[in-house]
Amino acid sequence: MDNGRGVGLLKKAYEKLKASDADAAYDLLEQALNADYENEEIKYALKCVKWWQINTRRIEEIVNPYEKGSFLISLFKQYYAFIGQIDQSFEQCQYAVRYFVYSKALFFFKGLLSSQTNHYDCGLLLLAGRCYKRLGFYDEALGYLEQAVRLKRDDAEILSEIADVNALLAQTRTAKALFREAFFIDPSRIDLRDLESALILKLRDKVAELGFANEALCEWIPVYGYLWGVFSVKRELKQMEAGRLKQSIFSLESEYESNPAKREILKPRLLNHYFWLIDYYEISHEDPSLIEETLLKIKVTDPGIYSIFAG
């Protein structure tokens, strides 16, 4: 057994994978395993690369470049389910896998972006921005994402990506404001696995420790983000926005009362709307009794959250 040679071949395999050559990476990993058959990371990397080799074969049958790139990225949901069954995880391997997929997808998207007409394709701009972000080109990512949000202003998915890039660029105040906005618009549209800044991942992990998972986790993130001071940047709502907020609260309250089966999801969303309403009343210097009325609603909905809020 030659541990040093195995580690060296593993490193070369990762470089080949990042260069979009999964077949060469797999060959090097097999050589690495022969040299160091007890190395758990080599075994793990072999499983991961093999998965991508098998599942990307269909891409040759796809003609449209947009569909090729989209197909590659869409595979991540299945891939996460696959690696979730493996007890171990090695970040260097996952980084190489992400680089392999996003660089390959970006190759297809860049050809399309050479046409000016495609600069009005919100979906393409979002995917290109996400690819650039994953590859570490944050300024380029921001450029495409900001083009996308100009076309679709109230899109939680795009706003969360812009927030994530701002956090990665250490523009913390902007990131906090945009994350709060995105999670208010529609938490269900945000895939936490697409985000990578410490700002949001630390919050995700802390909320997950409270026992929330999947869709409920996304819904509770803005609640605890507000209570713990992460989503601390507030803005003044326009009159029209305030009207929509009140109408949305009325609808959520009605659904919360009539649909007990959905309360796990509706409760955090309703609480977050109450927080926004209280902010609106405070910033607009409304009658304090309106704030007290909303606080009472929070207390009735969730006494535990009320005690944290009031404390």
Q: Which of 93, 114, 135 is the last residue of a domain?
A: 114
Q: What is the pLDDT of residue 117?
A: 82
286 assigned to some structural domain: yes
Q: What percent of the chain has pLDDT over 70?
A: 99
Mean pLDDT, residues 88-107 taken together? 95
| Beta carbons of 212 and 238 less than 8 angstroms apart | no
Q: What is the pLDDT of residue 251?
A: 97
CA angle 242, 247, 250 (to 5 degrees): 130
123, 106: one domain: no
203 assigned to some structural domain: no
5, 102: one domain: yes
| Cα(300)–Cα(283) distance, integer angstroms | 24
140 assigned to some structural domain: yes
197 assigned to some structural domain: no
3, 104: one domain: yes
76, 135: one domain: no
Identify the sign of the CA torsion 75, 78, 83, 84.
positive
pTM attached to this predicted model: 0.91
Between 111 and 175, residue with greater pLDDT: 175
99, 132: one domain: no
Q: What is the pLDDT of residue 2?
A: 56
271-281 pLDDT, tens digit each: 999 999 999 99
226, 140: one domain: no
85, 136: one domain: no
| Beta carbons of 183 and 156 less than 8 angstroms apart | yes
Q: Which two tokens stand for residue 88?
A: 């171990």
Between 196 and 4, residue with greater pLDDT: 196
163, 226: one domain: no
Q: Which of 130, 157, 179 is the last residue of a domain?
A: 179
| Cα(15)–Cα(21) distance, integer angstroms | 9
- Specify the CATH number for the domain of residue 50: 1.25.40
Please give the DSSP secondary-structure letter assigned to residue 244: H
Q: What is the pLDDT of residue 3?
A: 64
Q: What is the pLDDT of residue 4?
A: 78
Q: What is the pLDDT of residue 310?
A: 86
Q: What is the pLDDT of residue 256?
A: 97
190 assigned to some structural domain: no
φ/ψ region of 230 (left if φ > 0, alpha if ψ in -120 to 50, else beta) reads: alpha
Q: What is the pLDDT of residue 236?
A: 93
236: helix, coil or strand?
Answer: coil
193 assigned to some structural domain: no
38, 107: one domain: yes
Q: How far, rounded to the nearest angstrom, does the alpha carbon of residue 219 sit from its chain's CA centroid?
A: 13
| Cα(86)–Cα(76) distance, integer angstroms | 15
16 assigned to some structural domain: yes
Torsion of CA 203, 207, 212, 217, to 10 degrees: -30
Task: Report the 10 Å Cβ neighbour count for 24.
Answer: 15
Q: What percent of the chain has pLDDT over 90?
A: 90
| Cα(69)–Cα(61) distance, integer angstroms | 13
pLDDT bin (cut points 50, 70, 90) of residue 1 is low
6, 100: one domain: yes
104, 132: one domain: no
- Give yes or no for residue 311 having a pLDDT over 90: no
38-95 pLDDT, tens digit each: 899 999 999 999 999 999 999 999 999 999 999 999 999 899 999 999 988 899 999 9
165, 222: one domain: no
Q: Which of 87, 114, 141 is the last residue of a domain?
A: 114
| Cα(1)–Cα(39) distance, integer angstroms | 10
89: helix, coil or strand?
Answer: coil
Mean pLDDT, residues 98-118 taken together? 92
Q: Which two tokens stand for residue 106?
A: 């970006």
292 assigned to some structural domain: yes
Q: What is the pLDDT of residue 14?
A: 96
Mean pLDDT, residues 154-176 taken together? 97
Buried b (16+ CB within 10 A) or exposed e, 114-138: eeeeeeebeebbbbbbbbbbbbeeb
Domain span at residue 222 reads 209-311
Instruction: Indicate the number of domains in the chain.
Output: 3
- Specify the CATH number for the domain of residue 175: 1.25.40.10
